[in-house]
Amino acid sequence: MQSANTLLRKIVRSSVPPFAAQHGMKKDLFPLRTLSLSLCLKQDKSCEPSEKLDLDEWKKVMKSGLQEEVSETVSEPKELSSLAAARETLEMWRLAGRAVPEKMSEDQIKTFMECPSKSAKKKYLKFLHLKELYKKNDKRKAEEKRERKLEAQDQASKTDEPKRSPFVCLWSSTMDKAYNWRAAQSMIFGQPLVFDMSYEKEMSVREVTNTVRQLVLSESCNRRSVDPFHIHFCNFKHDSLYEREFIKHYREAWDKLLITVTDQCYTEIFPKDKLIYLTADSPKVMKTFDHDKIYIVGSMVDKSIKTGVSLARAKRLGLETAALPLEKYLLWNTGAKNLTLDQMMHILLTLKDTADWKKALEFVPKRKYCGFVNKPVKELKKTLDLINMLKLGKGREKVEKQFAKNYPKKYKLK
Amino acid sequence: VQPPEKPLQAEEWNKLREDFQLPGIFEEVMLNSMIRCNSPIDVAKSLLTHLAKRNGDIAYNVLVKYLTLCVHQGQVSEIRDMYDIMKGRFKILESGAYNLLIKGLSNSDQWRMALTLLEEVKKIMIPSRTCYESCIKAASCHQEMKLAFELYNEMLDKGVVPTLDVLQSFFYFSRGMKGAELQKELFGILLYLRENQIYPHKTFMRSIKLWFESIPGGNWKGRLTKIKDSGQCPVCNHQLEDSNLTEEEYSNLSERIIRDVIHGTDTFRKTSPKEFEAFQAFVESRLPFDIVIDGLNVSHIKSRKMQCENLFDAINCLAKENARLLVLGRKHMLTNSSNWKREIMKEMQNKADFFFAENISEDDAFLLYATLRSGKHCKFVTRDFLRDHKACLSDSLTRHLFRKWQRGHQIYKNKKMFSSVLSQQPAFRYDCVVQTTGDTWHIPYKDVFEEKYSYQVPRNWLCIQQK
């Protein structure tokens, strides 16, 4: 024991750059429990470094810390609660360099433990980890911005000139009032647009959250448009997950939104022959936007593959269906043809105002298509083929297959 | 980065570190490349020493990397030291470190320590399958078969799926050992292969063969063979198990297909209740059929020919032996078009029964229903693998049943003749699983480790016979 200590002291003495050890430099690179070596270093600094290289001395360093900590660990209860054990495991994973968030709330740990499989756990942790990173980044940026603002203010106060402008400064509250006025008008005279809120059972919690976020975005862009729709949330159940998520987003404003929320079905409110259910699975393709019809959009985010769910809804009620003419106007590249709710909203609003498909379909994400169709599809196919062959070195067959998938004959062979 | 060949002094490490673009992760990158190049551990040690001196501590992930290096090189005493250090430093370890420790120790004469480590792991989590694999291999390597089987059963109880390697090691190490208990356990593994429709690869098969032949006083003799289409083994003339499902399995499967595939969460997704009822009434009034044809699928066999001609050829070819045919199609086939001529459709309707579904309905679901409802002799014609329908079935047992039934009942036109889609030969009459009669065993095996598609079944068999 005694000899080990003296040995250790010798080692430490011999090689640590005294400056670094004393001032704890570089420690922040390794946010770990560090040993307090500096203490013994202070005692005798005068020693000369020896040339001999002892390969196992790191072990002694590692083990030497133990004696201090042993007393600490002994007092702790041996059996950990499952929650604490999970916390410990997570901490170890983080140390091992896996994607694990630094801080986790009790609820998050519980959700983590309830994950049915290892891969589900990994995915959940990665999700939290990324979320944490984004949050940190945002915070940093906000701080930088504030500093810059302060600096700017400082400079402004130095010059200190009264500002004069011929225009009245429009504050956001004034804008809000204008928007609300328009939305109120749309509630009386506007064309209805229905969001079918009956998909809660088909979705996971994450999907519902995403759906609500997309709906919030759609509502805001509708409110800001020149001629808004009268939005209806139909089949909306009180105290559903949808509602709880909406309240999270809107807080008190939820009750003041200028939209119609009802638990009734759209078939009870509107005449059946005026309804058109928009779904990517529909065999019919929309040609023009009809100002007398009432379009229905299913409020559903479908991360797993559930084809035909909304088509089934429309079939059951005997409604007309339609799909956007994506293949007709766009040279489709990759990705599913179902769009997000806010993209749908943008497209429908543009159609309503301009009836220009090209303008409306600008809102389809750029990664999903190569360009607009301006020549017959056959010619385009040749060009696309060539491009792909040259660019990606893809085999001809593969390209053809992809193309056949995107541009099926009228009734595709199953 | 290229790891150095000899242990370095602190100053030398410092210099290397400063030259590196991202000094923050220098140690990790360096250790990774050491693992890749399998550098001598002395070099790694000198790096750790340098680290310990500079920071006073070594990060966990660096320790794990060093441990990986030790395990690769089988440095047992070093692994033990690492365990002491890590155990002292951290309350618990994570699975990666435990895997490494167990793997490293189980390959040495201190393999029993790996077992105690496994116990430790069990307290905090379900051990990974590599942990079990190492321990089981170590135990069976040291002829402790009882212990190995205990671990194996524990693993199955916890829902950890064993690798083929583990299963093989049981046969490999049990060679020449006596004992009724052991024999029973090994037969148990063969039955596990049967139940899960796992096919051993060639080396695994050889271990099985050698084990059988080495049983003292067993008089087993193994031969490699190919089974005839009739399902007879050419070596022992034994008839293999029938591919037909039992009554119970059959009714179970039909029930599940109606429930999961046709209705699913919403009948409207694939058809509509009205249409399905009409179809049911149609089928019931004309039962039983001998062959059910997916009209649209068959009509696309030759792309140069008109679609209705393709279908016409297929029907003519199948209608010869007075078989009762049912063709499933969609309503658009009835409208006169360039691909669907009305006269030919008329003629076909004289030779076979037709059912036309709505254009947006799924005809495959009807195909399955009509075939199953007609009975065990009924076959169906389509090139489709029906994977999406198999995926609708909720549990793996029913999926296996579906595959087995599909192997025996699906045929398709391959240039001249009709044959099974799945095996590229006439629909199987015998079942392709590990099977036994007590004094014989028949075990299908794969030629190479992983060469076949999941829908194909191996053609090679191991026939084991007791003389």
List the CATH number of the domain containing B397. 3.40.50.11980
What is the DSSP secondary structure assignment for residue B159, as one 8-state letter? Answer: T
Backbone angles phi, psi at A234, to 5 degrees: -100, 160
Is residue B143 assigned to a domain? no
Which chain A residues are within 8 Å of B7, Cβ to Cβ? 53, 55
Question: Terminus-to-terminus CA distance in chain A, angstroms?
Answer: 78
Which chain B residues are within 8 Å of A410, Cβ to Cβ? 332
Q: Over the stretch A325-367, which tens digit does the pLDDT of each residue have?
A: 988 888 888 888 889 999 999 999 999 998 888 889 999 999 8
Residues B206 and B309 in one domain: no
Is residue B115 assigned to a domain? no
**Whole domain around residue B220: which residue ranges?**
163-241+428-466
Is residue B39 assigned to a domain? no
Alpha helices in A256-376 (DSSP H): 266-269, 309-317, 326-329, 341-354, 357-360
Query: Could you give the CA distance from residue A386 to residue A383 in angstroms, rounded to a whole number?
Result: 5
Question: What's the gap in Å between the CA of A313 and the closest CA on chain B?
Answer: 7
Residue A98's region, left for phi above 0, alpha for psi from -120 to 50, else beta, is: beta
Q: Nearest Cα to B328, choosing from B306, B304, B357?
A: B357
Which chain B residues are within 8 Å of A53, Cβ to Cβ? 7, 9, 46, 49
Backbone angles phi, psi at A192, to 5 degrees: -70, 145
Q: How far is CA A367 from CA A165, A218, A335, A336, A389, in A?
A: 43, 21, 8, 11, 19
SS3 of residue B249 by DSSP: helix
pLDDT score at A410: 44
pLDDT values of chain A reduced to their tens digit, one per residue, 414 residues: 455 555 545 544 444 444 444 444 444 444 444 444 444 443 333 333 444 567 777 777 777 765 554 444 444 445 567 788 888 888 888 888 888 998 888 888 998 988 888 889 999 999 999 999 999 999 999 999 999 999 998 887 776 666 666 676 767 888 888 888 988 999 899 999 999 999 998 898 889 999 999 999 999 999 999 999 999 999 999 889 999 999 999 988 888 889 999 999 999 999 999 999 999 989 899 999 999 999 999 999 988 777 888 999 999 999 999 999 988 888 888 888 889 999 999 999 999 998 888 889 999 999 888 888 766 666 666 776 677 676 666 555 665 666 666 665 544 333
Q: Nearest Cα to A233, choosing from A244, A243, A241?
A: A243
Is residue B129 assigned to a domain? no
Angle between helices B76-89 and B95-106 (to 10 degrees): 150
Residues B272 and B405 in one domain: yes
Closest alpha carbon within chain A to B266 = A312
Q: Return the number of other C-beta atoms located less than 10 Å from residue B355's C-beta.
A: 20
Instruction: Report the DSSP pairing between strands A369-372 and A330-332.
Output: antiparallel
Is residue B97 assigned to a domain? no
- Please state the ipTM of this predicted complex: 0.79
Residues B334 and B405 in one domain: yes
Residues B397 and B446 in one domain: no
Is residue B432 assigned to a domain? yes
Closest alpha carbon within chain B to A57 = B49
In the block, residue with structure tokens 């402004």: A156
Count of domains in chain B? 2
pLDDT score at A38: 42
Q: How far is CA B108 from CA A56, B82, B130, B165, B172, in A?
A: 22, 15, 16, 19, 19
Residues B288 and B382 in one domain: yes
Residues B342 and B397 in one domain: yes
Query: Could you give the CA distance from residue A191 to residue A231 in angstroms, rounded to a whole number?
Result: 8
Contact B202, B445 (CB under 8 A): yes
Q: Return the number of other C-beta atoms located less than 10 Å from residue A386's C-beta.
A: 11
Q: How far is CA A176 from CA A172, A228, A335, B407, B412, in A?
A: 6, 14, 36, 66, 66
Please, what's the largest Cα pairwise distance for chain A? 96
Give the residue-averaged pLDDT of B55-70: 88
Which residue would you say has higher pLDDT here, A392 or B248? B248
Return the residue in A9, A37, A95, A121 with the most chain B beta carbons within 10 A, the one to mutate for interface testing.
A95
Could you tell me which residues come within 8 angstroms of residue A214 by beta carbon, excluding any fewer than 6 positions away? A301, A340, A341, A342
Residue B231's region, left for phi above 0, alpha for psi from -120 to 50, else beta, is: left
pLDDT score at A12: 45
In order of start, what are the domains of chain A with their CATH numbers?
A: 97-156 (no CATH), 190-372 (3.40.1280.30), 377-401 (no CATH)
Is residue B442 assigned to a domain? yes
Closest alpha carbon within chain B to A33 = B57
Residues B179 and B257 in one domain: no
The enclosing domain of B432 has a CATH number of: 1.25.40.10
Contact A186, A229 (CB under 8 A): yes
Q: How far is CA B59 from CA A88, A95, A203, B62, B89, in A?
A: 16, 8, 42, 5, 10
Q: Nearest Cα to B424, choosing from B455, B379, B391?
A: B455
Return the residue in A52, A315, A319 with the most chain B beta carbons within 10 A, the one to mutate for interface testing.
A315
The DSSP line for B51-73 is HHHHHSS--HHHHHHHHHHHHHT
Contact B444, B461 (CB under 8 A): yes
Residues B271 and B351 in one domain: yes
Question: What's the gap in Å between the CA of A56 and the closest CA on chain B?
Answer: 7
Q: Is the CB of B94 less than 8 angstroms away from the CB of A92?
A: yes
Query: Could you give the CA distance from residue B415 to residue B398 in angstroms, rounded to a whole number?
Result: 32
The DSSP line for B195-214 is HTT----HHHHHHHHHHHHH
Q: Is the CB of B94 less than 8 angstroms away from the CB of A55?
A: no
Closest alpha carbon within chain B to A201 = B265
Q: Return the number of other C-beta atoms located less than 10 Å from residue A29's C-beta.
A: 13
Residues B176 and B307 in one domain: no
Q: Contacts for B258-267 with beta carbons within 8 Å, 24 or more apart?
A: B258/B369, B260/B392, B260/B393, B260/B394, B260/B398, B261/B365, B261/B368, B261/B389, B261/B392, B261/B393, B262/B365, B262/B368, B262/B369, B264/B392, B265/A202, B265/A309, B266/A309, B266/A312, B266/A316
Is residue B137 assigned to a domain? no
Which chain B residues are within 8 Å of A37, Cβ to Cβ? 56
Q: Over the stretch B280-332, which tens digit does the pLDDT of each residue have?
A: 999 999 878 888 999 888 888 777 788 888 888 888 877 776 788 899 999 98
Query: Could you give the CA distance from residue A389 to residue A399 in angstroms, rounded to a whole number?
Result: 8
SS3 of residue B328 by DSSP: strand
* Nearest-by-Cβ selection for B92 from A11, A62, A92: A92
B6 touches chain A (CB under 8 A): no
pLDDT score at A399: 59
Q: Is the dihedral of CA B340, B343, B346, B351 positive or negative?
A: negative
Q: Return the number of other C-beta atoms located less than 10 Å from residue B75's C-beta.
A: 17
pLDDT score at B203: 92
Which chain A residues are within 8 Å of B272, Cβ to Cβ? 315-316
* Nearest-by-Cβ selection for B364 from A17, A34, A414: A414
Length of chain A in terms of residues written: 414
Q: How far is CA B446 from CA B33, B62, B201, B453, B458, in A?
A: 37, 41, 5, 11, 6
Residues B338 and B198 in one domain: no
Is residue B67 very low, low, confident or very high in pLDDT (cuts 50, 70, 90)? very high
Query: Could you give the CA distance from residue B405 to residue B243 in angstroms, rounded to a whole number?
Result: 7
Query: Could you give the CA distance from residue B263 to residue B9 in angstroms, rounded to a whole number?
Result: 73
Tokens standing for residue B301: 């066999």
Q: Is the CB of A89 less than 8 angstroms away from the CB of B125?
A: yes
Q: How far is CA B428 from CA A309, B178, B324, in A?
A: 37, 38, 21
Q: Is the CB of A61 less than 8 angstroms away from the CB of B90?
A: no
Tokens standing for residue A390: 């040259």
Partners of residue B410 on adjacent β-strands: B380
Residues B347 and B460 in one domain: no
Residues B302 and B360 in one domain: yes
Q: Is the CB of B125 less than 8 angstroms away from the CB of A56?
A: no
Contact B50, B13 (CB under 8 A): yes
* Nearest-by-Cβ selection for B362 from A96, A410, A414: A414
Percent pLDDT > 90 in chain B is: 30
Is residue B170 very low, low, confident or very high in pLDDT (cuts 50, 70, 90)? very high
* Of the listed ranges B122-136, B160-174, B213-227, B407-421, the one predicted with least confidence: B407-421
**Element holding B355 (H helix, E strand):** strand B353-357
